[in-house]
Amino acid sequence: MPGKKTAIKKTKKKTSTETAAAKPVPTNGKVAAFTLDDVQSLLKSKKPEKSSKRTIAPKKVVKKKEKVAIEDVPQETQSFGAASLTDILGYNPTGNSKSKSRGKSVPRKFKVYYNLLISLHDHVNEELDLHTRETLKKTNKDDSGDIASYGQHMADEGTDNFDRDFALSLVSSEQEALSEIEKAIGRIYNGSYGVCEITGEPISEERLKAVPFTRHSLEGQKQLEKNKRFSVQRGGVYSTGIEDSTQFIANDDAD
Least confident of 54-63, 168-177, 194-203: 54-63
Sign of CA dihedral 66, 67, 69, 73: positive
Report the SS3 class of residue 27: strand
Residue 7: predicted pLDDT: 46
Mean pLDDT computed over 87-94: 54
Please give the single-letter amino acid code of residue 77: T
CA 166/CA 161 separation, integer angstroms: 9
Q: Are 175 and 128 in contact (CB under 8 A)?
A: yes
Q: Are 117 and 184 in contact (CB under 8 A)?
A: yes
How long is the chain? 255
216: pLDDT strictly greater than 90 = yes
Mean pLDDT computed over 162-184: 79
Residue 185: predicted pLDDT: 94
Residue 22: predicted pLDDT: 46
Domain locations along the chain: 85-193
Least confident of 49-58, 111-120, 127-136: 49-58
Count the neighbouring beta carbons within 10 Å of the beta carbon of residue 132.
22
CA 66/CA 80 separation, integer angstroms: 41
Alpha helices in 23-71 (DSSP H): 36-45
CA angle 250, 253, 255 (to 5 degrees): 115
CA 97/CA 127 separation, integer angstroms: 13
Query: Bridge partners of 139?
Result: none
Q: Are 111 and 208 in contact (CB under 8 A)?
A: no
pTM of the model: 0.46
Residue 86: predicted pLDDT: 56
Mean pLDDT computed over 94-103: 54
Highest mean pLDDT among 19-33, 50-64, 117-131: 117-131
Q: Which bin fits 28, alpha (ψ -120 to 50), beta or left (φ > 0)?
A: left
- Spell out a b/e string for 90-126, using b for 16 or more CB atoms within 10 Å of the CB, else e: eeebbeebebeeeeeebeeebeebbebbbebbeebbe
CA 122/CA 118 separation, integer angstroms: 6
pLDDT in tens, 2-50: 444 444 444 444 444 444 444 454 555 555 666 778 777 877 776 555 5
Residue 172: predicted pLDDT: 78
pLDDT in tens, 138-147: 655 555 555 5
